Structure formats: C-alpha cells, structure tokens
Amino acid sequence: MSEKGVGIAKRVWVNPEKMLRNRRRITGKVETASTKKDLYMGAYVARTIIVSNDSNTPTWFEIYDGSEKVIGRKSLAAWDNWRMENVWLPFTSSVGLNSDATTTILTCGGFTP
C-alpha cells in the first residue's frame, strides 16, 4: 500500500453563519507511541491543521478520520511544526492522530457542520 495521502477536499459548502456558531478548536497528543488517539468524536471540518514535534528527535505522524488515514505518514524534524492553512478537510466520524512519539501534538481549528 502506498504511503501517499488521499486527496483532500478543497471546498465544503456550508452556511457561513453556522460555521461561526459552531467554531471549535481541537488540541491533543498521542498518549502511547504508535497508537492512534481520537482527539474529537463526531463530524468536523478542519480549516487549519498544525502538528508540532516537541522533542529533540525526528518523528512521523498520521491524521485519521475514524479508521481511515486522511493524511499519509509524514516526517517531522525535531522541534518542528507542520501546518496546513485553509484546507477545508471534512472529518465524518472523528479526528485522530498517530505518531511514533508521545510529544507530537495536533491542533485543529475549524467547525462542526
């Protein structure tokens, strides 16, 4: 199986007032290395995704919607951040993170549809 990420939706049409009313920020980290951690259960549309490696060693991470990997495995250098802006990525069941280090932190800014 390829480690390339699946396509990412660029635009999800929603009511702008609903977006503002349902804004939600998600922050969390992997508790056990190489074990997927659900950070939020339920539908969610991400507009900004930030992954931080707060350790002095390189790490890899993956982002999941339920059991489906939506962003393939990516490497992150020590003390580095990976950021996606204006992505409009819909999660239908949950927002999850997997990493080989417990110091990897995902911050997701968006809204519940």
pTM: 0.84
Fold exhibited by the domain 16-111: Jelly Rolls (2.60.120)
Distances (CA, A) of 106 to 1, 16, 21, 26: 25, 25, 23, 8
- How many angstroms from the chain centroid is the CA of residue 82? 11
Q: Is 17 a residue whose pLDDT tops 50?
A: yes
Domain ranges of the chain: 16-111
Q: Is 79 a residue whose pLDDT tops 90?
A: yes
Instruction: Report the percentage of the chain scoring pLDDT > 90.
Output: 79
Residue range 25-48: mean pLDDT, rounded: 96
Residue of 37, 34, 83 lying closest to 59 (CA atoms): 34
